[in-house]
A and B are shown apart, each in its own frame.
Chain A
Amino acid sequence: MEARIAPQMPVMEKLKILAAAAKYDVSCSSSGSSRRNDGTGIGNTLAAGICHSFAADGRCISLLKILFTNECIYDCRYCINRCSNDVPRASFTPDEVCSLTMEFYRRNYIEGLFLSSGILYSPSYTMELICETLHKLRTVHRFQGYIHVKAIPGADPTLIQRAGYLADRMSVNLEMATAEGLKEMAPNKHRKNILQPMRQIQNGITANQNELALYRHAPHFCEAGQSTQMVIGALPESDYQIMSVAENLYDKFSLKRVYYSAFVNVNGDKALPAAASEPPLLREHRLYQADWLLRFYDFRVEELLTQDRPNFNLAIDPKTDWAVRHLENFPVEINRADYRTLLRVPGVGVKSARRIVAARRFGSLRFEDLKKMGVVLKRALYFITCSGRMMYPTRLEEDYIVRNLTYQNQMGRGEKLPFMTDGTVYRQMSLWDDGLLSG
């Protein structure tokens, strides 16, 4: 069985193939667990995410993100590694993964390892190899840094359990928002097989928390929780469908994060959109913003989108969009409003809302104080008063505010988008409203 793992290929070559094959997996974050070093090996983990570098696409490089192998028996339509593709194949040995991780980590190149894999022979066979690798890394090399590992759907549950005790985070990719979508895009995968390990990991985490409450020194199971990812823009699902699925995953599966991956048509599939190479980045960005609102701002999907209004406004961010459609809640008095109300003001974030609540105990706040607290006044000014006064005379009207905010964007003074900064305007945007972003 070992025959297909070819150690004779130079590591350089393997890394090239297996990093390229892993790049579409989004989650590179290293946050969520916090563990000190015990003095027997290298490594610790920090609750705050650490980005060691940034790739040419501007995305963070935090973990050594690789596939164990890009061999695969499945044939997912969106995937470059599907069995019907004729691409160069490679597989690491567990030792190779260990030395790359250790040597990168000591040099402060990475926060840890992100190990995913194509399916070699069978899900269980592959999962076994992954477990062996992680076990070596944790026991032989005494590695105490961050590990994120994929659970392969269909693998023996005992293997998934074992991986959970070796990793900080596990994830199973949901791939598509709907079960039909999954069937269409990944004929060998089934929604049920994906949700099953997800549930297993969730239960494992809950059980572990109880264990830890009893025995402080019990081994940790997925300390940094569980995440998943969905491809967006390959099929005509609405934002409403996607966000509802995400909300469900947070509520019912206690996920830490849901990642959204703008579809890149790597196989030039004519039946799928964006064969012309531009992934829906702006849409992806709006989904992340909305996801943030669900997790930290106490919003529900129904407040942001509805059946009749199933997609986000690409021109303004979801929070501002919500605010201008609910002007009856504004203006909010900074010196009196409670924390939850402050959180809903565009331009006020979690930290600035906390600072406001703390600082106003010393006396009433003025607009210049808000600036020092990190409030984005050019967005907030339409929605707030300080001691009964607005910053400028403005009108509390949807059209007026939207016009002003989009004008700011147009002049490059408004919302900072993570792209378009060098004139790379996402095409759908210019289609949607020509001239909006020119200038």
Chain B
Amino acid sequence: MIIRDRLEISGMEEKYMICEDSPEGIFTAIYDAYALREGHEHIHIQVGEEDDRRLFAVYLHSSPDLGKTEKVVRTLRRRLGEEVYLTLCQAAASRYMDKGEAVYRTVVSGITEGNGRRTMENLRDPYVARCFALARRTANEVHHEIEFLRFRELEQGALYAKIGPENNVLPFVMPHFADRLSVENFMIHDVGRGLFGVHRAGQTWYLVSDTEGFPEESLRWSREEEKYQELFCLFCRTIGIEERENRALQRQMFPLRFREYTVEF
């Protein structure tokens, strides 16, 4: 009790801003944290639920808000530059829940402490380092999906791909394919999150989330689809050199969790 009293007297209560698990959720929480105008030392951002209730903590709820998000994004891009902003977005897409705090503290170090475009270079700071590590994991997975996802051709000629990423990579994967396959109609389906990236030939892409349940069983493949899958399997089998066979290396380079969605394994 004594301790509690002391804390209250000095106003050192820890405040936890609870926010939704999405980039908008995190950016809105950052806006709300700044709006408190209490400095940042005793404010924290927690993504998801207020699970382990801490003693002597105050919980505040922040719900995603487009206007606040846009303001934060504009400030981040202007003050920290595109590169740092991209890193923060990648960290915010991570599957690890400590990302809220890591992104928040990194923003504070960039804006309030004035590290600006250099923010991500200060890897001595544990939050910056964590943000950097989370962003790198997301970026690696984005790269892997760009390599390993496979489209199948539907009857009407559109392409469909299924992915099951650990992090929320779809928003980063879409621009790549929208550029590369600009003249195609295609759709990428994040099975775990029930999220779809949709692209129509010659238009910009968008994300839709699946609320009704997607009738995957009703998809019909084109007449040629099976032939090309077979040709590619044959190619992959043929191109390896028997004298150098090394399944362990193959496993290391092509993680098993991606194979479920390919055609050649």
A residues neighboring B (CB under 8 Å): 11-12, 15-16, 19-20, 22-24, 36-37, 39-44, 48, 50-61, 64-65, 100, 103-104, 106-109, 145, 262, 264, 277-279, 281, 355, 358-359, 361-363, 365-366, 369, 372-373, 418-419, 421-422, 424
Contact = CB atoms under 8 A, between A and B. Distances in A.
Given A103-B224, A419-B246, A109 B150 contact: yes
* Residue among B179, B224, B238, B253 with max Cβ neighbours from chain A (10 Å): B238
Nearest to A363: B124
Interface stretch (B50-58, B74-82, B98-106, B227-235): B227-235
B132 interface: yes
Given A15-B235, A42-B183, A278-B243, A107 B228 contact: yes
Given A54-B254, A359-B123, A362-B122, A106 B181 contact: yes
A31 to B, nearest CB: 13
Contact of B184 (A42, A64, A109): A42
B239 interface: yes
A24 B243 CA distance: 11
B238 A359 contact: no
Interface of B: 115, 118, 121-125, 129, 132-133, 143, 146-153, 159, 161, 177, 179-184, 202, 224, 228, 230-232, 234-250, 252-254, 262-264
Contact of A372 (B123, B246, B247): B123
Nearest to B181: A42
A19 B147 contact: no
A358 B238 contact: no
A257 to B, nearest CB: 19
A47 to B, nearest CB: 13
Contacts of B184: 42, 106
B253 A355 contact: no
Contacts of A107: 150-153, 159, 228, 232, 263
A110 B127 CA distance: 38
Contacts of A54: 249-250, 253-254
Given A42-B182, A277-B243, A372-B129, A58 B253 contact: yes
A372 B245 contact: no
Contacts of B232: 104, 107, 109
Nearest to A45: B180
Contacts of B242: 57
Contact of B248 (A103, A104, A421): A421
Contact of A55 (B153, B181, B236, B263): B236
A106 B231 contact: no
Nearest to A20: B238
Nearest to B262: A53
Contacts of A43: 180
Contact of B240 (A56, A361, A372): A56
Contact of A421 (B118, B241, B246, B264): B246
Nearest to A369: B124
Nearest to A265: B243
B142 to A, nearest CB: 12
Contacts of A48: 143
A12 to B, nearest CB: 6
B144 to A, nearest CB: 9
Contact of A359 (B122, B151, B180, B240): B122
Contact of B183 (A41, A57, A60, A366): A41
* Residue among A58, A104, A369 with max Cβ neighbours from chain B (10 Å): A58
25 contacts: A11-B231, A12-B231, A19-B238, A19-B239, A20-B238, A20-B239, A40-B183, A41-B183, A42-B183, A48-B143, A50-B147, A51-B147, A53-B148, A53-B254, A55-B241, A100-B231, A104-B232, A279-B241, A279-B243, A359-B123, A359-B124, A361-B118, A362-B122, A373-B123, A424-B248
A228 B234 CA distance: 27
A44 B224 contact: no
A50 B180 CA distance: 14
B247 A422 contact: yes
A53 B240 CA distance: 11
A44 B181 CA distance: 8
Contacts of A40: 183
Sort A-B residue pairs by CB-CB distance and give the 4 closest, nearest first: A58-B249, A55-B240, A422-B248, A358-B121
A114 to B, nearest CB: 10
A303 B264 CA distance: 44
Contacts of A277: 243
Contact of A53 (B146, B236, B245, B249): B236
A22 B202 CA distance: 36
A52 B238 CA distance: 15
Contact of B246 (A104, A366, A424): A424
A37 B180 contact: yes
A44 B254 contact: no
B235 A64 contact: yes
B121 A421 contact: no
B180 A23 contact: no
A422 B122 contact: no
B238 A57 contact: no
Contact of B146 (A50, A61, A264): A50
Contacts of B248: 58, 421-422, 424
Contacts of B181: 42, 106
A406 B127 CA distance: 36
Contacts of B245: 56-57, 424
Contacts of A61: 235-236, 239
Contacts of B133: 372
Nearest to A100: B231
A15 B243 contact: no
A339 to B, nearest CB: 14
A53 B264 contact: yes
* Residue among B179, B180, B254, B263 with max Cβ neighbours from chain A (10 Å): B180
Contacts of A278: 243
A106 to B, nearest CB: 6
A23 B241 contact: yes
A108 B231 CA distance: 14
Nearest to B252: A421
B221 to A, nearest CB: 12
Given A56-B245, A372-B132, A106 B124 contact: no
